[in-house]
């Protein structure tokens, strides 16, 4: 079952994005649910730009604690090479890691970030970057 992405807008409560699956990390974090977990992803600094070092932050509520998680960055429809960010637990339920989203030679800006939770499945966040 696909769960719509929810984005937190500045000065507003979290609300669904218009197409039900795309997150706008330029404004705030996105949350999705899988099994009994609520997973929230945020990317900083803003605006989220390609070819700049980014901090990926994941908050996991519910379920067990993981020592680390892997965030897999891909471009739907185009292979851009392996791009995985190791997220280390920095506090209870909070995981962070740094990575870079490459600039696509075709000019496309649509990306996916997925996180696998062993025994639970995976969540996927779709978003755009700016150049």
In a domain, 79, yes or no: yes
pLDDT digit string, tens, across residues 117-129: 988 899 999 999 9
Residue 58 and residue 40 in contact, taking contact as beta carbons nearer than 8 Å: yes
Whether this model's pTM surpasses 0.75: yes
Mark 73-86 as b/e (b = at least 16 C-beta within 10 Å): bbbeeeeeeebebe
Domain tally, the chain: 1
Beta-carbon contacts of residue 32 (< 8 Å; ≥ 6 apart):
3, 5, 6, 38, 39, 123, 124, 125
Q: What is the CATH number of the domain that holds 37?
A: 2.60.40.1930
Q: How many CB atoms lie within 10 A of CB 89?
A: 16
For residue 124, the enclosing domain spans: 6-128
Residue 38 and residue 61 in contact, taking contact as beta carbons nearer than 8 Å: yes
In a domain, 1, yes or no: no
pLDDT digit string, tens, across residues 3-52: 333 333 332 333 333 445 799 999 999 999 998 999 999 999 999 999 99
């Amino acid at each position: 079952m696909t769960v719509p992405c929810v984005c937190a807008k500045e000065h507003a409560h979290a609300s669904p994005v218009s197409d039900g699956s795309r997150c706008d990390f330029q404004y705030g974090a996105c949350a999705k649910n899988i099994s009994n977990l609520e997973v929230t992803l945020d990317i900083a600094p803003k605006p989220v730009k390609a070819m700049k070092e980014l901090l990926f932050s994941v908050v996991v509520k519910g379920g067990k604690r993981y020592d680390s998680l892997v965030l897999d960055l891909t471009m739907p429809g185009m292979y851009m090479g392996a791009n995985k960010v190791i997220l280390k637990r920095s506090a209870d339920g909070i995981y962070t890691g740094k990575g870079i989203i490459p600039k696509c030679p075709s000019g496309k800006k649509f990306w996916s970030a997925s996180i696998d939770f062993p025994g639970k499945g995976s969540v996927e966040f779709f978003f755009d970057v700016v150049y």
